[in-house]
């Protein structure tokens, strides 16, 4: 057994953890890219383990050029790939990074994230957030905001709509129950504060300004704006 492993085991024992706990935690982080304590009991256990050994995790990830953002108030952790730009955090490297840690989003996903970020910002100004920093929206409100901001519609197909919202749930940007009927206008979803860290105020303003210059906006032009926003975000 290497000295590095022995040293790690010694450090973990101080926090009543072992190598199997370490592997499970790091695999979860690297696989999902995010931990959100309020998501599930399993995720809460991983998050609590992370809090106990955060300096060790930081030291390990630094060896491969990966950082993390830890919001202790809303209790979430998000990995930051090398070269990624995150609102509120200084860039440590300007080198491009095209590895698997960087999430690739489709146009529909980018459009919905942008709209939810705008709605979150609106609710924040109005003080309409809960104690976990979440904003509750109906699908009717989301669809209307999509029309107003991007001149787009939510997917009509049940399968496509479910895949779209499920992807955002995997990223821990939204939460809804497995039984939620995403075709019903009165179905409610919760938008998590993590969305603020994915979409900066500058990006939001940039897209709004672009739309103001595209009157009238047809479907192809709206797609161009979303593509431009996607490039800006990366």
Extents of the domains making up the chain: 3-80, 107-233
12 vs 23: CA distance, rounded Å: 12
State the pLDDT confidence band at 205, using cuts at 50, 70 and 90: low
State the pLDDT confidence band at 214, using cuts at 50, 70 and 90: very low
Mean pLDDT of the region 114-128: 91
pLDDT > 70? residue 139: yes
Tell me if 152 sits within 8 A of 222, measured CB to CB: yes
pLDDT for the residue numbered 103: 57
192 vs 67: CA distance, rounded Å: 21
Tell me if 133 sits within 8 A of 121, measured CB to CB: no
Range of 32-46, 69-83, 217-231 with top mean pLDDT: 32-46
Is residue 176 left, alpha or beta, with left meaning phi > 0 and alpha meaning psi from -120 to 50?
A: beta
Residue-wise burial string across 101-134, b where 16 or more C-beta atoms lie within 10 A, e elsewhere: beeebebbbbbbbbbbbbbbbebeeeeeeeebbb
175 vs 79: CA distance, rounded Å: 19
Query: Quick one: tokens of 22?
Result: 């370490």
**136, β-bridge pairs:** 190
pLDDT in tens, 57-112: 999 999 888 899 999 999 999 988 776 655 545 444 444 444 444 556 788 888 89
Q: What's the pTM value of the predicted model, to 2 decimals? A: 0.69
């Amino acid at each position: 057994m290497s000295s590095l492993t022995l040293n790690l085991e010694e450090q973990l024992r101080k926090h009543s953890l072992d190598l199997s706990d370490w592997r499970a935690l790091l695999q979860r982080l690297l696989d999902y890219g995010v931990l959100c304590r309020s998501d599930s009991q399993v995720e809460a256990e991983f998050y609590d383990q992370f809090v106990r050994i955060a300096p060790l995790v930081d030291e390990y990830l630094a060896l491969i050029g990966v950082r993390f953002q830890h919001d202790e108030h809303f209790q979430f952790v998000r990995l930051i790939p090398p070269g990624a730009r995150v609102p509120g955090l200084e860039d440590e490297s300007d080198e491009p990074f095209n590895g698997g840690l960087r999430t690739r989003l489709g146009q529909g996903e980018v459009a919905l994230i942008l709209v939810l970020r705008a709605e979150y910002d609106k609710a924040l100004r109005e003080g309409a957030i809960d104690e976990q920093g979440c904003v509750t929206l109906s699908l009717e409100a989301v669809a209307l905001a999509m029309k107003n901001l991007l001149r787009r519609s939510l997917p009509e197909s049940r399968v496509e709509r479910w895949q779209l919202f499920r992807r955002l749930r995997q990223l821990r940007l939204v939460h809804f129950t497995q039984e939620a009927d995403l075709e019903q206008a009165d179905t409610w979803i919760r938008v998590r504060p993590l969305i603020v860290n994915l979409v900066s105020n500058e990006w939001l303003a940039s897209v709004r300004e672009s739309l103001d210059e595209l009157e009238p906006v047809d479907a192809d032009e709206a797609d161009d704006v979303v593509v431009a926003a996607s490039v800006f975000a990366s």
